[in-house]
Amino acid sequence: MTQQDVARHSAYIRFEGLNAPVFLDGCTELLEPLARIIPHWPYSVTDTPGDTEPASTITRIGERLYTIASLSTCGEVREFDSVNVLCDMIVEMSCELLRSGERLMCLHGAAIEMAGRLVIIPNVRRAGKSTLTACLAHRGFPIFSDDFFSVGLDADGRFRGVAMGISPRLRLPVPEGFSSGFHDWVATNDGPANRQYKYLTLSDQPGYGTECPLGAIIFLDRKKTGPTRLEPMDVHKAVAALLHQNFARSVHSGTILHMTDALLSAVRPHRLTYSSAEDAAAFLESHFSSWPAEPPVARNQHLIAFREVDEELIAAPRPAFQRDTVYVRKDGFSEVTMNGGHYLTDAFGLGVHRLNDGSLAIWRLMEEPMDLDDMCDVLAHAFPDVPRAQIEEDSRRMLTRFVEHRLIEPADPLA
């Protein structure tokens, strides 16, 4: 293929709401499957590059083989077939969604509208999220997302999820034990597919930007056998899972922590234990056939403010703990208590840390300037039965952690 042929078969795709385009480098044949995979997210196609570097560049290198290089992977080049290269492109679109605007939270998971509220299923590897989502789609429920979606607060302080307009993706092959009706429904769907995945093209699905109040957060626990049951989930496990699944790297961890606190105050987490995805879909349909009249208002929403991470600090070397240095808390931290658990974020927004009783005690002491020896003196007086050597080792380890995560800093000797 000559350079003129490549140019003739190249295009920039600009999705609504995203600053950076996707560049199809000599492979505009991908526009046809892309239109079926992303039928409800408006976009335009042009041959004009514009001023923004593409979020992803896809290049054909063979009859059925493509490479993709994306901003979030620092240009790493990967090879895929047509379906998987578009899968990878969609992952990068989720990152670009965050880079393009003040999205307070973006979750990795499914969102299904049931009786006017969203049932959120955070992604847990091999828990069956995509299959259960497909079963709910088979039962006629609108799918806001099966992979990623943004969450925000409306003017009344209630959480709402936003539809992406992307077709749900089912992992193949469909396992044995599913009904013939479900097998036939998947087999006759005309969505793009390979041996690993099939995108399910659905009619009457919500378009990009459609909003719906959040109703429930359901973590999946798939078993080989046993009945379907829904139980309240430990809040701390839910916090850990949501912080892990929220991939808003550019968003300050203080924003994410306060959003998580507010989210779990309004939408309590539950665990769905199941062995059959079709039975679980029927169970959820029955259980969430109605909701309270009004979605609950999130607590502490006044603490939520959009902040971005200082990207240069992400790659910067961590500061080192110095034994004889006097340290004190670094200004700008965020501290949140959820269900008795204590969480911290540093001023730069690089991470979230849960404190146990021991680390919380040391954190409280760091309100005033103190070196390691002074801290050990205080703790040895408070805990006379604990050997001094153990107190010193535990304190040194925790202070090292606080220093490396920029939660404390050398005190100003003149302060």
Do 222 and 132 belong together in one domain? yes
Last residue of a domain, one of 76, 99, 122: 99
Into how many domains does the chain fold? 3
pLDDT per residue over 23-81, tens digit each? 999 999 999 999 999 999 999 999 998 899 999 999 999 988 999 999 988 878 999 99
Q: Is 17 helix (H, G, I), strand (E, B) or coil?
A: coil
Do 277 and 341 belong together in one domain? no
pLDDT per residue over 218-233, tens digit each? 999 999 999 999 999 9
**CATH code for position 376:** 3.90.930.50
Q: Sorting pLDDT into bands at 50, 70 and 90, what band is 235? A: confident
pLDDT per residue over 143-154, tens digit each? 999 988 888 888
CA distance 274 to 165: 28
Do 251 and 373 belong together in one domain? no
Do 94 and 109 belong together in one domain? no
Domain that holds residue 18: 3-99
Residue 396 has which token pair? 């040194």
Q: Is 166 helix (H, G, I), strand (E, B) or coil?
A: coil
Judged against a pLDDT cut of 60, whether residue 102 lies above it is answered with no
Judged against a pLDDT cut of 90, whether residue 334 lies above it is answered with no
- Interval 75-89 mean pLDDT: 94
List alpha helices for 118-245, DSSP H. 129-138, 180-188, 235-245
Last residue of a domain, one of 99, 121, 156: 99
Do 63 and 173 belong together in one domain? no
Q: Sorting pLDDT into bands at 50, 70 and 90, what band is 98? A: confident
Q: Is residue 415 part of a domain?
A: no
Do 87 and 121 belong together in one domain? no
Judged against a pLDDT cut of 90, whether residue 251 lies above it is answered with no
Judged against a pLDDT cut of 80, whether residue 101 lies above it is answered with no
Mean pLDDT of the residues in the chain? 89
pLDDT per residue over 166-186, tens digit each? 999 999 999 889 999 999 999
Do 209 and 283 belong together in one domain? yes
Q: What is the pTM of this model?
A: 0.84
Q: Sorting pLDDT into bands at 50, 70 and 90, what band is 252? A: confident
CA distance 249 to 351: 10
Do 223 and 94 belong together in one domain? no
The answer to whether residues 205 and 142 touch, using CB atoms and an 8 Å cutoff, is yes
Do 280 and 328 belong together in one domain? no
Do 65 and 85 belong together in one domain? yes
Q: Sorting pLDDT into bands at 50, 70 and 90, what band is 306? A: low
Last residue of a domain, one of 251, 271, 303: 303
**CATH code for position 256:** 3.40.50
Do 116 and 185 belong together in one domain? yes
Judged against a pLDDT cut of 50, whether residue 1 lies above it is answered with no
